[in-house]
């Protein structure tokens, strides 16, 4: 199964097998990932498709599930048309749940049971929470192998917490509180206490018969999968959102083709570097505005040896002389492309002996979709049309000409920093080993 947001080529990532190797780690059972996404969220309206760090919330877990290559099918169970549209754009099939299991009082188990009733081919259900955006394919693979390889019947995600717990007492009752998990007279240091395992809600995997017969997902031969704290993110209320956004930018999964280092960036002038407006003076002179934040963003990329090429089309209303002045000011080359930009930029990528995974692309409209899909990192401004937004891996908060390019530049450099940190950690791990 392939994603609308990434390459379909077989690729091993973080230990995740390609689909051909998957057969070596699973039996003939039909394994389905199921993400529950009701439209009636009370805490955050339509929370499941609200944009988080440039991606619909549900898109983070769908990308990880699809790219894990561990599932025979990936489903979103929903009662909402807009959620269905987003789910399909991110590579999932859609199960339209009934009103009976779409109420505020409906439980997850009831909803999954209904799904199983209409999908008798499914043998193992992997319920992945849409509100856990730092899920990676390797989490899915390692946890699922506890069922398919190690013989467990169910597995759920936990995180290790170092928190001392006390009994709650009613105010005015005179009752004294008591500790649940420590002796205050021998209060341990953090480094001397292993902590406790707590459910983090990321996922619950179980064989069909447990859910159908026992009406829960933690039964039979049961075990847990421990996730590191940096990946244990759960969004419940609005206050969680800005914290989750910062965490996912650093620890989220951005796809198989995310480059370690971007070598080349293409950026549309109209709609990305500018807001598409042309000002005409009384004397007939044309003018456009370029945001200083975006100019700084280009400079940041160039200082990191990222070549930036500005793109303009034959239909672009900006005068060619004015375009050249913009390019000279930004110290960038300008390329004019036709109705199919890919036909032109592909030659540039080939001539520079680069792969598309080493390329970043910032586009704005329908003509850019193919390039947005191919690029290792791709983005559109926040005011881009839906057709382009669906193809991009990152959707900026800011609009074109108002800092969107700077935002994408910072995103590119953050990915580079993360890749560098990971290489350094790998080097330390190999040395210690």
Catalytic residues: 187
Q: Which long-range contacts (CB under 8 A, 24 or more apart) does 419-422 make?
A: 419/259, 419/260, 419/261
What span, in angstroms and rounded, lies between the C-alpha atoms of 207 and 115?
Answer: 14
Closest of 13, 3, 15 to residue 59, by C-alpha: 3
Task: Compute the Cα dihedral for 44, 47, 51, 53 and give only its sign.
Answer: positive
Residue 218: other Cβ atoms inside 10 A: 17
| CA 363 from centre of chain | 19
- Parallel, antiparallel or unpaired: strands 286-287 and 154-161: unpaired
394 and 376 in contact (C-beta within 8 Å)?
no
What span, in angstroms and rounded, lies between the C-alpha atoms of 125 and 29?
Answer: 10
Using alpha carbons, list the distances in angstroms from residue 349 to 1, 5, 264, 354, 375: 28, 20, 8, 5, 11
DSSP codes, 26-77: --S--EEEEEE--S--SSSTTGGGSEETTEEHHHHHHHHHHHTT--SEEEEE
Structure token pair of residue 6: 């990434």
| Residue 288 CB-half CA count within 13 A | 27
- The three-class DSSP label of residue 200 is strand
Contacts of 214 (CB under 8 A, 6+ apart): none
**Exposed, middle or buried by CB within 10 Å (0-12, 13-18, 19+), for 9?**
exposed
CA-based angle 139:145:150, to the nearest 5? 140
374 and 245 in contact (C-beta within 8 Å)?
no
What span, in angstroms and rounded, lies between the C-alpha atoms of 194 and 152?
Answer: 25
- Parallel, antiparallel or unpaired: strands 154-161 and 196-207: antiparallel
């Amino acid at each position: 199964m392939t994603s609308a947001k990434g390459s379909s080529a077989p690729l091993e990532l973080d230990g995740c097998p390609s689909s051909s190797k998957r057969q070596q780690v699973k039996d003939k059972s039909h394994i389905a990932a199921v993400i529950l996404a009701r439209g009636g969220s009370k805490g955050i309206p339509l929370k499941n498709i609200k944009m988080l760090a440039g991606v619909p919330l549900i898109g983070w877990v769908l990308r990880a599930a699809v790219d894990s290559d561990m599932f025979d099918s990936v489903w979103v169970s929903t009662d909402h048309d807009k959620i269905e549209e987003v789910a399909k754009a991110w590579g999932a099939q859609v199960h339209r749940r009934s009103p009976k299991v779409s109420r505020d009082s409906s439980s997850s188990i009831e909803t999954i049971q209904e799904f199983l009733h209409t999908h008798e081919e499914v043998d193992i259900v992997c319920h992945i929470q849409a509100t856990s955006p730092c899920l990676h394919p390797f989490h899915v693979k390692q946890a699922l192998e506890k069922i398919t390889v190690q013989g467990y019947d169910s597995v759920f995600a936990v995180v290790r917490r170092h928190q001392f717990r006390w009994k709650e007492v009613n105010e005015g009752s005179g009752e004294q509180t008591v500790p649940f998990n420590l002796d205050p007279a021998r209060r341990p240091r953090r480094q001397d206490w292993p902590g406790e395992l707590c459910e983090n809600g990321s996922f619950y995997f179980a064989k069909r018969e447990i859910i159908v017969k026992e009406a829960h997902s933690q039964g039979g031969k049961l075990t847990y999968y421990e996730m590191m704290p940096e990946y244990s993110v759960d969004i419940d209320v609005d206050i969680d959102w800005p914290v989750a956004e910062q965490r996912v930018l650093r620890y989220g999964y951005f796809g198989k083709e995310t480059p370690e280092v971007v070598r080349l960036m293409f950026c549309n002038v109209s709609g990305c570097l500018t807001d598409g407006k042309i000002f005409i003076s009384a004397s007939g002179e044309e003018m456009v505005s370029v945001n200083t934040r975006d100019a700084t963003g280009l400079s940041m990329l160039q200082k990191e040896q990222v070549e930036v090429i500005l793109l303009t089309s034959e239909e672009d209303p900006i005068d060619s002389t004015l375009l050249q002045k913009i390019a000279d000011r930004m110290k960038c080359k300008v390329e004019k492309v036709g109705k199919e930009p890919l036909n032109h930029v592909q030659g540039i990528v080939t001539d520079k002996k680069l792969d598309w995974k080493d390329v970043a692309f910032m586009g704005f409209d329908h003509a850019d979709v193919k390039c947005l899909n191919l690029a290792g990192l791709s983005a559109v401004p926040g005011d881009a049309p839906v057709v382009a937004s669906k193809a991009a891996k990152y959707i900026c908060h800011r609009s074109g000409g108002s800092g969107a390019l700077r935002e994408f530049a910072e995103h590119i450099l953050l990915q580079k920093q993360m890749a560098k940190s990971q290489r350094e950690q790998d080097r330390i791990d190999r040395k210690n080993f």
